[in-house]
Chain A
Amino acid sequence: MPLLQVEDLRVFFHTYAGVIRAVDGLSFSLEPGQCLGVVGESGSGKSAAMMALLGLLPQPPAKIHGGRALFHHQDLLCLPKRELRKIRGNKIAMIFQDPMTSLNPYLRISTQMTEILTTHEGVSTKNALSRAIAALEQVGIADASRAIVQYPHQFSGGMRQRVMIAMALLTKAEIIIADEPTTALDVTIQAQIIELLRSLQQRYGLSLILVTHDLGVVAGISDHILVMYNGRLVERGTVEDIFYRPSHPYTEGLLQALPRVDQQHQHLYAIPGAPPLPTAQRQGCSFAPRCPQVMPMCYEGEVPWVAINQQHQYLCHLTTELKEGAAR
């Protein structure tokens, strides 16, 4: 049974400019001990979906227009605030994009870590402190008992992200959602943080949702990958499916846009055009205007799901037969 099962999640923002359908019918499930990668260009609704799960979106302007998110037989989307608070930071922890702004600059690291334990487990501050120090050691912070009494500004970006990860480890959260955990970091630090997440995931059997706009980041760590475009899921599959058998033209474009070691001096490919305006009306496939294989029917009606197998599906008019036909 999946640990988290999200069905048909819809998150809209009601702004003066119009309604933004940030997440428009997202379904996925997360198995225990697995890492699920969620990829898509910036603005495709990844953060909105994750924040909606934990009730972190400001409402208004956000409004959840439907769907379910089952976690231990409870629907996160309609849980009372008190109950949801018991889950946040405890059973489901979240790591955010910008470690420079995600930690409170006015409080010591020790305060920001121990409060998680005193809130959720009611342990003494002393006990919480020693567990917090242990968590910092787990994420590779040297001299943790000295570091913990410092303030965030005394840490580098990479170190702060380690602190955020340590916070997520404190309560042995069943699910850790990392929203672009490396986007704000230098490339070398990015690799270290991903490696840290990977080793922690293997060591503790964490269930991880790793959100990123960079397919390269999820390659080495994910079991399954969701590809989102303009608020919709357009392809899902195992890492091998996505990297070796990409089926949606958008996924193919994302893969081509990855820098590759064997083509160092070549021009980097970029998907032509830009994502549609967030307030635009939806008709047909929203990737159609940028799609190299676009057909007239792509601009109207509902786009069907094509199931290659149990795990691998994509949202496109180009069925496997059509693709084979074109290849031949």
Chain B
Amino acid sequence: MLGYIIRRLLQVIPVLWLVATSTFFLMHAAPGGPFDSERQISAEIQANINARYHLDEPLGKQYLRYLQMLASGDLGPSFRYADRSVNEIIATTFPVSAMVGLIGLFFALSIGLSTGIFAASKLNSWRDYSAMLLALLGISLPSFVVGPLMILLFSIKLGWFSVSGYNRLQDLLLPGLTMGIMYAAFFARLTRGGISEIIRQDFIRTAKAKGLSNTVIMLRHTLKGGLLPATSFLGPAATAMLTGSLVVETIFNLPGLGRFFVQSALNRDYTLVMGCVLFLAVLIVIMNLLVDLAYAFLDPRVTYD
């Protein structure tokens, strides 16, 4: 098992190389560059800047230079935010996004799983249908609708939280909730689906024939298998939530990674884009590994060696 984990983690290296290479060339193939702007700058200054960031070198050379830097753990300077390195930007913005993401994950799982289990235990009844209707609503309502509604209710009407910005930890609660609600809806549907699949199995009939109560049948016999679909979704969902969302961070005016990521792509801030993408790739590899381990925990037929 330990050997398996180490091997999986070592896979990060080729994955990073592939991601770095493809992002590098894609970014450079995209029209425009980091220093294009409406303001006309003289050719001299332009040449100076290009020389400073080695943009005047042939692409292959730039690529090798980038890989070399990467190997030493340096993601380089941001092209757009002068005096800030990519490492530093990620190190200061990721904790904000991660905190929002963790809060979101908490709401997503607690609301999502309990709704899914509730609906599945009342399968095809009006309670099930109303829970699933609610979930559909949660999936369909975009964060730019839910977020402002939250602010309106909790911040302006009730005055519990600040309207925007990040000063205290509790300022992250509403963004977390906003983000969590949509994922909660996905988790609810996946959990209901997973459980209703298990409920049809022969071994649930055996459990009934043993005289077990419905609660024991649900919690002990159904849940482990029924949670597998939600578990698969947990990997990508957690990654997306932890790395921040442009919409949520914009609505709540938070200095999170999500905004920088999207901005960097629009700005052609080559190093920052690459840094964010690589960071995401590492996170995805780790999350996928965690999901696979959770799979083995839930289903004893799954083994790794």
Contact = CB atoms under 8 A, between A and B. Distances in A.
A175 interface: no
B201 interface: yes
Contacts of A119: 210-213, 216
B212 A106 contact: no
Nearest to B225: A106
5 contacts: A56-B205, A89-B210, A116-B210, A120-B211, A151-B301
A131 interface: no
B203 A86 contact: no
A94 B208 CA distance: 10
A107 B205 contact: no
Interface of B: 201-203, 205-213, 216, 220-221, 224-225, 298-301
A104 B221 contact: yes
Given A96-B206, A101-B203, A105-B203, A89 B220 contact: no
Given A106-B224, A106-B298, A107-B220, A85 B213 contact: yes
B201 A101 contact: yes
Interface in A63-100: 85-90, 93-94, 96, 98
A164 B202 CA distance: 13
Contacts of B210: 88-89, 115-116, 119, 167
A54 interface: yes
Contact of A151 (B211, B216, B300): B300
Contact of B208 (A88, A101, A151, A167): A88
A89 to B, nearest CB: 4
A87 B211 contact: yes
Contact of B202 (A85, A96, A115, A120): A96
Given A101-B203, A105-B299, A106-B298, A89 B209 contact: yes
A120 B213 CA distance: 11
Interface string A116-137: 1001100000000000000000
B209 A106 contact: no
Contact of A115 (B203, B212, B225, B301): B212
A239 interface: no
A113 to B, nearest CB: 10
Given A85-B213, A88-B208, 10 more contacts: A85-B212, A88-B209, A90-B211, A94-B209, A96-B206, A98-B202, A103-B206, A104-B203, A106-B299, A108-B300
Nearest to A86: B211
Contacts, number: 73
A310 B162 CA distance: 88
A107 to B, nearest CB: 7
B221 A107 contact: yes
A96 B203 CA distance: 10
Chain A interface, DSSP helix/strand/loop, else mixed: mixed
B212 A89 contact: yes
Nearest to B300: A151
A201 interface: no
A156 B208 CA distance: 23
Nearest to A54: B209
Interface of A: 54, 56, 85-90, 93-94, 96, 98, 101-108, 111, 115-116, 119-120, 151, 153, 164, 167
Contacts of B205: 56, 96, 102
A105 B216 contact: no
A96 B210 CA distance: 12
A85 B209 contact: no
Contacts of B300: 105-106, 108, 151, 153
Contact of B206 (A86, A102, A106, A153): A102
B212 to A, nearest CB: 6
A93 B212 CA distance: 12
Contacts of A115: 210, 212, 216, 220
A89 B300 CA distance: 25
Contacts of A104: 203, 206-207, 221
A105 B228 CA distance: 13
Contact of B209 (A56, A98, A103, A120): A56
Contacts of B202: 96, 98, 101-102
A107 B301 contact: no
B201 A153 contact: no
Q: Of B220, B221, B300, which is in contact with the most chain A CB atoms at under 10 Å from its CB?
A: B300
A101 B206 CA distance: 9
A101 B203 CA distance: 6
By Cβ-Cβ distance, the 9 closest A-B pairs, closest first, are: A89-B210, A88-B211, A89-B211, A101-B202, A106-B224, A104-B203, A151-B300, A94-B209, A85-B211
B298 to A, nearest CB: 7
A49 to B, nearest CB: 15
Contacts of A87: 211
Contacts of B225: 105-106
A102 B211 contact: no
B226 to A, nearest CB: 9
A51 B208 CA distance: 11
B301 A105 contact: yes
Given A96-B202, A102-B203, A119-B216, A107 B224 contact: yes
A166 to B, nearest CB: 13
B45 to A, nearest CB: 66
A103 B301 CA distance: 13
A98 B209 CA distance: 15
A155 to B, nearest CB: 12
Contacts of A103: 203, 206
Q: Of B201, B208, B210, B212, which is in contact with the most chain A CB atoms at under 10 Å from its CB?
A: B210
